[in-house]
Amino acid sequence: APPAPIESSFQLLAYQAALHPDADCLGWRPLLTPGYVAPNPGAPHDESRPFLWWSYATVQELAVKMGRGLLAKFGLAKGDTVGMYARNCPWWAILSLACSSQGIVVVPIYDTLGPNIVQYVCNHAQVKVVVTTADHAQKVAAALPSCTSVKGIVLIEYNGSVEPSDTSKETIGSAFSNI
C-alpha cells in the first residue's frame, strides 16, 4: 500500500515509478509513414506493428520537467489552467501528468465543437497557456486577440516514434530544460 493517500494522477505515477522504474508505462503504436501499405488500409495504425514504450521513470522525468517548465516559463501557479489542443498522442498524456505534478488544471480543447471553440474555452476557463500542434497553431493564433487570459503557446509535435520530433525537442528543450 502507498505510504500516504494518493490524491492525483501524478502521485500515482510517482508511486508506481518508485516501485517499477523500468517497467513499461506509456505505450503507443507508431503512425503510418507515407508510402507504407498497411494490411488494413483504412486504419490509422497498423495493429501488426509493435507498441513503442516509455518507462515509468521516463514518463515521470518528462512530466516533472514539463510541469516545472510551465511554472518557470509562464509564471503559472497551482489552480491555473492550461489548454490542450491536439490529437491524442504521448505528449497529451505527459502534459496531463505535468500539470497534475504542479496542481495545474488541463482543459481539453476539441476542434469538433465548432470554429470558435478555442476562443470560447480559453475565455470560459481562463486558460493561461495553450499547448498545441502545428496543424492547430493557426486556429490558436487567430483566436488569441480575443483570449485575454492566454500568456503563451507551447508548440509540440508528434511523429509517432519514441523520440519527440525535432520541433518538440527544440520547443521542449528551450522551454523546459535548465530547470
What span, in angstroms and rounded, lies between the C-alpha atoms of 79 and 108?
Answer: 15
pLDDT on residue 156: 84
Do 57 and 7 meet the contact criterion of CB atoms below 8 Å apart? no
**pLDDT tens digits for 70-99?**
999 999 999 999 999 988 888 889 999 999
Distance from the Cα of residue 12 to its chain's centroid:
18
- Answer whether 0.85 is exceeded by the pTM: no
pLDDT on residue 89: 81
**pLDDT tens digits for 91-105?**
889 999 999 999 999
Amino acid type, 80? D
